[in-house]
Structure 1
Amino acid sequence: MNTTTVLPPRTESEPAPKRVKAPAKLSISAVSAALPVALKKLSPRQMAHSPVMFTVLLGAAVCTVVAVLAPSVFSIAVTLWLWLTVLFGTLSEAIAEGRGKAQAASLRAGRTSVLARKVLLDGGRAPAVMADLAGAEFVQLAATDLAVGDVVVCSAGDTIPSDGEIIAGLASVDESTITGESAPVIRESGGDRSSVTGGTKVLSDQILVRITAAPGQTFIDRMIRLVEGATRQKTPNEIALNVLLVSLTIVFVIVVMALAPMASLADAVPSPIVLVALLVCLIPTTIGALVPAIGIAGMDRLVQHNVLATSGRAVETAGDVDTLLLDKTGTITFGNRRAVGFFPVPGVSGSDLVEAARLSSLADETPEGRSIVELAEHRGVYEPSLEFLESRARVGEVELQAIEFTASTRMSGLDLVQNGIRREIRKGAASAVERHVAEAGFELPEAARAEVQRIAESGGTPLLVAENGRPLGVVELADVVKPGMRERFEQLRTMGIRTIMITGDNKVTAAAIAAEAGVDDFVAEATPEDKLAVIKREQDAGHLVAMTGDGTNDAPALAAADVGVAMNSGTPAAKEAANMVDLDSDPTKLIDVVGIGKQLLITRGSLTTFSVANDVAKYFAIVPALFAAAFPGLGLLNIMGLSSPNTAILSAVIFNALIIIVLVPLALKGVKYRAVTAGQALARNLLIYGVGGLIAPFIGIKIIDLLISLIPGLN
């Protein structure tokens, strides 16, 4: 065994590679880069996965043989456009896959040449605390040689070699390689923020990490495969759609085969080129070509929101969710208690209380302390600043000492001597400040006691403020509902989604927050078992349930939910149980995930409607012109007045190919989702994509017919 001493923390290193977002718009460079991939996808083995496009491929092959044996301008033109139809179909999928290439390249760059320091103690046992490193051996090896269960030490400047869980220590970590955000985050052992991801970088301190992922199965490996579309499997809805498309294709194959004997009765048997072209125009080639691109683009949109899904099925299920379970803390509310009010005791002005509370919080870097300063400034109290007081202290004009909060005193504050006047301002827990007041020879007024009692019973946190031992009043801290939550829940209600808030608060507090946020229901004093029970109850009632979580105790509920979104900062158990992981660790992301899922379903439904309507329109555009000579009665249906049967067929084939390319940007971007009822969504879908699909072919085919009728040898 090669043993070394502990490697010193690196003070200089290359900056972590930033995750590259996929381009938002379709560009010429994206098309040119996807073209070689599209050509490779023309392989019959790959085309067989899409029966509709495989039928077009066979038709193009048949027409190629006919065009070689009996060449003509018409047969060559039709054959060329049939091959372009197949190519455009594979190109749409290749473009969708190519949107993740830049992301994958940047993610791979973050994993190159990463070394790990594996830690061993005597007897081969792994360390459990930092103190164990004193008698440890260190083996330097490549990150790819690590196994599940190995323990590595990571110091400031190190790249974390693989996915793992912190078992000792605390560190600031740069996760920009996976989240795209440059702001560092704190990761520590023993809580719900103990998980670390391979490829991220330690910025300060030192941590012990137990490896939880085998080589090739790390979070970044899975993300690379996702953004490249390499592991995408067809979802149940996609499989059902393919069955429908195959059924329609079979029906039209039979219809077109029946046209030949029917036409023979009038001595007008169409050529194989005409029959194949007619078949291709009538089967649902548009949606058949775009289905893979729609699915891949849906997964890509999820990645763009920094959410990793284990399967496309999870994305689709999110679109069908009708019940959302949300934790109160950090999701509906800010999670950190914030100052919401100042309540002076009788005989003390409100301005005096606000000023004293602000001064006592200037050096308080806790979220609660900062919120008191913010609320005071909102009330118009801005001066003096801590920087001003410190500058005066440096020149001896004032004496200044910040009193930090400790577990024993449960108070913090400020000692300030200015112009010979000494001010000892304290704020803290009501019981602690009350003792401080009593020791100074003062009594807490009954009005202050009543206010403390009221705030506590409502679920808030009361802080007492005193100056030189004299009580000034009470500051109320509360877990504040995030702005805009009521509006977002109203949108979900419009979409037919019921929201349930889960909280450990008592029923009175839970009811107040539920009413303020606008959720449909709540569960108070909830345990992990209660979460699981709620999910089972909703599922037994026929609902699809989504929820978020980050702790080991959330794992059972995340696994039971139809859509479980785990926080990336959470425990490995939570991430393994969920079918989605939010890289930003933002619990409110669940609402966006539902919107992305619905957008995927709406996009597929809208383009399917457009495709079917297209085929109906092309039928009435082509068949009358094709058989009007043999069956004069059909001439009444030739409302487009196409130049000739040949130009009618070729115009339809060209339009059929071009409409695929025209719709690729929409398939990649997705149809815009609006929070409306199912009936309104259906009406809008039929109006825009149904009626549009009927009208577009008449206009497009007529314009193309006017242009190609000028080509000699076609009429």
Structure 2
Amino acid sequence: MKKSLKIEGMTCAACAKTVERVTRKLDGVTESNVNFATEKLNISYDSSKVKVSDIRKAIEKAGYKAVEETTVDRDKEKKEKEIKYLWKKFIISAIFTVPLLVITMGHMFFESAGFHLPDIIDPMKKPVNFGMIQLILVIPVMIAGHRFFTVGFKSIFKGSPNMDSLIAIGTSAAFLYGIFAIVQIYGGNIDYAYDLYFESAGVIITLILLGKYLEAVAKGKTSEAIKKLMGLAPKTAIVVRDSKEVEISIEEVEAGDIIIVKPGEKMPVDGEVIEGMTFVDESMLTGESIPVEKTIGDKIIGASINKNGTIKYKATKVGKDTVLAQIIKLVEDAQGSKAPIAKMADIISGYFVPVVITIAIFSAAAWYWFGGETLVFALTIFISVLVIACPCALGLATPTAIMVGTGKGAEYGVLIKSGAALEIAHKVKTIVFDKTGTITEGKPKVTDIIVTDAITKDELLQLAASAEKGSEHPLGEAIVKSAEEKGLEFKKLDFFKAIPGYGIEVKIDEKTILLGNRKLMLESNISLENLEETSHKLAEEGKTPMYAAIDGKIAGIVAVADTVKESSKKAIEQLHKMGIEVAMITGDNKRTAEAIAKQVGIDRILAEVLPQDKANEVKKLQSEGRKVAMVGDGINDAPALAQADIGIAIGSGTDVAMESADIVLMRSDLMDVSTAIQLSKKTIANIKQNLFWAFGYNTLGIPVAMGILYIFGGPLLNPIIAAAAMSFSSVSVLLNALRLKGFKPAK
């Protein structure tokens, strides 16, 4: 079973690793991944071995809380509450920290300008007062940042220290040293008045609260795409109950309810029109700006807009089953997933805090015992190392970029199902397009009927249409539609057999009829007579010839042509500009495939491929050492979509194809294939930038805090500067990820 839980109480990437570790230890848990940015745990487990309550207990024992996922509205409310809380705490701490800083540093600045602090707080004249006032001012700041201490020390005692632990140890050390200094001052040693360290504790907490506030605000912006999607659905619906119109909340609508929608209103849920006619704006899902006509029997998509007529429709899908809800689920799952590129950061985050604490102790001890420095100097080193280290930047580097990237994709109708898909897409070197319904419209028409002397054109069309009546293949549908337009009567089938990749065999009026491609005729030992040359000419024109045979003798050809989508040529040109090879795969004969390929600029043609062999063709391309993407829309594309490194399904395609794919193009526009690749490249570049700065910051910052520069005559890092740098590191990673919101695909 799979389950998603919201984790409360996490403050950094080390917390996320702790939750993963304790849950993975449970017998029956097969996979556990925590996304720090979304604060979500995705877990797979055997329900016969472990229960959700056991998982929750393990998480709570580690110091965190696991709750059921809430709606986006509630989640937004919770986030806003958290932002307000952090702002309030920051303001309280700032009110006390500013005067604390003025009193601590004031005597140096004021005296150089010819001014003096009042005697009552002058460190030379009243050192006890000077120390006690600082103590009084720092206590409210420590209270404002109490969460750092409660969470930080609790994590240490549970054996899984986190970022809060670093802050708690560092500021507690500064505070306790200040108390020690005041005791010394009372004893008459006024030298301690100049090194109380209360201001370091106060400013560190204040700056980190500011950083946490800015981080929370930026985090909220990364998930705006989900909020926008959720905002599309109306909150209420008008349904018919006991012959009366009743307005109810969207959550109360049930499948089978009759819903009334007036002009200008949004469709509450998915359904089918039972009364009335209107035009509906479905651009929020399909990207098609022209409203679509809807009459009795037509499908309605929830959240689309009714333009000009009142209709009644029956609800068929409600709640989590609607198209919009499925899209939101896809985006949420993608934002909660991990990309392979994050593995290194995850591993480092797991060991980060204990290593930093060890480095801080080692550095301080080395300077004190071997460097011959004072206790104050060693304390400065100890606090600076603890405070400058930042596992948050590492933990946020990947998930924030994925959240913004997948959200941006959703805005363009490109649904990327996972972080892994987003990462792999930028490596694709070959893209294989299915022909029918992907490169072409998938709405073919009968163009030519060629017959022998044994039958007339209408008779052949009548037999072919009767044979294809139950077919869902686009070519079969075209033949049926042509017969309907001519008013031909359909004959009853006595026998039907589909031969995948070849055609069909039927019995009508005791006649055995074969309808399909050249291979079907040859396999059945049917002579093509002089029709083969005609078939070649039709194929060269981009038409698909279908042979018909009656009782073992060739009867004629029904040629069907499918028009190429307007965007196909432009989309392939764009992919060529990106250095990507484009291939086309089809069951059509080679000549027809070549004609279509010539129109749109295809590099490689894979023709006369049976449905079951499509995946093998993809595998052959992969054996050349290339990352391969497959773009398709039908059930027969599903194995190839699954085999490809990246499967891309057209949104107008089948549920099976969309389920097998890694990326879904909701607008059925092939230009969105290049959009997905471009977005992948931009997102991965952003992740690499984030990881570079996060690793670089810690790699450079920690040695500086240890006093490396001081050895060579440089400055010693002040803990206050270290705190400011630490806060900025997380915020800078988030701000960099938010730059992806400006992404626009090249057209």
TM-score interval, smaller chain: 0.5 to 0.7
Q: What is the CA deviation profile of residues 314-358 of structure 1, one whole-angstrom value per residue up to 9, with x for unaligned ones?
A: 3334344444221335654677899xxxxxxxxxxxxxxxxxxxx
Select which of 297, 302, 306 maps to 1:198: 302
Q: What is the CA deviation profile of residues 237-283 of structure 1, one whole-angstrom value per residue up to 9, with x for unaligned ones?
A: 43443113434555444333321332222333555564243234345
Select which of 660, 663, 666 maps to 1:583: 666
Taking a change above 3 Å as real, the CA distance of residues 524 and 477 of structure 1, as seen in their structure-2 partners, is closer
- Within 2, Cα distance between the matches of 1:168 and 1:536? 50
- Three-state SS of the structure 1 residue aligned to 2:415 is strand
- Three-state SS of the structure 2 residue aligned to 1:113 is strand
Amino acid in structure 1 at the alignment position of 2:672: K
Amino acid in structure 1 at the alignment position of 2:712: G
In structure 2, the residue matched to 1:615 is: 698
- Three-state SS of the structure 2 residue aligned to 1:324 is strand
In structure 2, the residue matched to 1:448 is: none
Shift of 1:561: 4.3
Amino acid in structure 2 at the alignment position of 1:241: A
Select which of 219, 227, 244 maps to 2:348: 244
Amino acid in structure 2 at the alignment position of 1:665: L
Q: How does 1:493-504 map to 2 (within 5 A)?
A: 493=579, 497-504=580-587
- Three-state SS of the structure 1 residue aligned to 2:647 is strand
Select which of 265, 274, 278 maps to 2:370: 265
- Within 2, Cα distance between the matches of 1:196 and 1:551? 22
Taking a change above 3 Å as real, the CA distance of residues 533 and 666 of structure 1, as seen in their structure-2 partners, is same
In structure 2, the residue matched to 1:55 is: 162
- Within 1, Cα distance between the matches of 2:660 and 2:278? 26
Taking a change above 3 Å as real, the CA distance of residues 214 and 61 of structure 1, as seen in their structure-2 partners, is same
TM-score, scaled relative to structure 1: 0.55
Q: Do residues 256 (structure 1) and 360 (structure 2) align?
A: yes
In structure 1, the residue matched to 2:401 is: 294
Select which of 208, 219, 224 maps to 1:93: 219
Taking a change above 3 Å as real, the CA distance of residues 99 and 164 of structure 1, as seen in their structure-2 partners, is closer
- Within 1, Cα distance between the matches of 2:572 and 2:327? 33
- Within 1, Cα distance between the matches of 2:654 and 2:312? 16
Shift of 1:409: 11
Shift of 1:604: 0.8
Select which of 201, 210, 213 maps to 1:75: 201
Q: Is the 8 A contact 2:634 2:653 kept in 1?
A: yes
In structure 2, the residue matched to 1:304 is: 411
Q: Is the 8 A contact 1:96 1:668 kept in 2?
A: yes
In structure 2, the residue matched to 1:20 is: none
Taking a change above 3 Å as real, the CA distance of residues 289 and 140 of structure 1, as seen in their structure-2 partners, is closer
In structure 1, the residue matched to 2:734 is: 664
- Three-state SS of the structure 2 residue aligned to 1:58 is helix
Q: Is the 8 A contact 1:67 1:79 kept in 2?
A: no
Q: Is the 8 A contact 1:101 1:227 kept in 2?
A: no
Shift of 1:297: 0.8
- Count of matched residue positions in the alignment of Structure 1 and Structure 2: 487
Shift of 1:667: 0.9
Identity %: 24
In structure 2, the residue matched to 1:394 is: none
- Three-state SS of the structure 2 residue aligned to 1:267 is coil
In structure 2, the residue matched to 1:508 is: 591
Shift of 1:589: 1.6
- Within 2, Cα distance between the matches of 1:206 and 1:66? 71
Select which of 712, 723, 744 maps to 1:635: 712
Q: Is the 8 A contact 2:286 2:413 kept in 1?
A: yes
TM-score, scaled relative to structure 2: 0.53
- Three-state SS of the structure 2 residue aligned to 1:234 is coil
For the aligned residues, what is the CA RMSD? Answer: 5.3
Q: Is the 8 A contact 2:431 2:631 kept in 1?
A: no
Amino acid in structure 2 at the alignment position of 1:76: G
Taking a change above 3 Å as real, the CA distance of residues 309 and 171 of structure 1, as seen in their structure-2 partners, is farther
In structure 1, the residue matched to 2:324 is: 220
Select which of 227, 235, 239 maps to 1:115: 239
Q: Is the 8 A contact 1:550 1:567 kept in 2?
A: yes
Q: What is the CA deviation profile of residues 670-702 of structure 1, one whole-angstrom value per residue up to 9, with x for unaligned ones?
A: 399999xxxxxxxxxxxxxxxxxxxxxxxxxxx
Select which of 164, 172, 186 maps to 1:65: 172
Amino acid in structure 1 at the alignment position of 2:372: D
- Three-state SS of the structure 1 residue aligned to 2:236 is coil
The unaligned stretches of length 5 or more in structure 1 are 1-30, 119-137, 339-403, 411-450, 463-475, 629-633, 676-715
Select which of 421, 428, 432 maps to 1:325: 432
Q: Is the 8 A contact 2:381 2:707 kept in 1?
A: no
- Within 1, Cα distance between the matches of 2:322 and 2:198? 57
Q: Is the 8 A contact 1:117 1:154 kept in 2?
A: no
Q: How does 1:53-452 map to 2 (within 5 A)?
A: 55-69=162-176, 70=178, 71-98=197-224, 100-105=226-231, 107-108=232-233, 110-115=234-239, 144=251, 162-163=269-270, 173-179=280-286, 181-185=288-292, 196-201=300-305, 211=316, 213=317, 215-224=319-328, 232-247=336-351, 249-263=353-367, 264-268=369-373, 269=375, 270-271=377-378, 274-283=381-390, 285-329=392-436, 331-332=438-439, 407-408=485-486
- Three-state SS of the structure 2 residue aligned to 1:92 is helix
Shift of 1:296: 1.2
Taking a change above 3 Å as real, the CA distance of residues 249 and 534 of structure 1, as seen in their structure-2 partners, is farther
- Within 2, Cα distance between the matches of 1:113 and 1:664? 39
Amino acid in structure 1 at the alignment position of 2:345: L
In structure 2, the residue matched to 1:488 is: 574
Q: Is the 8 A contact 1:307 1:580 kept in 2?
A: yes
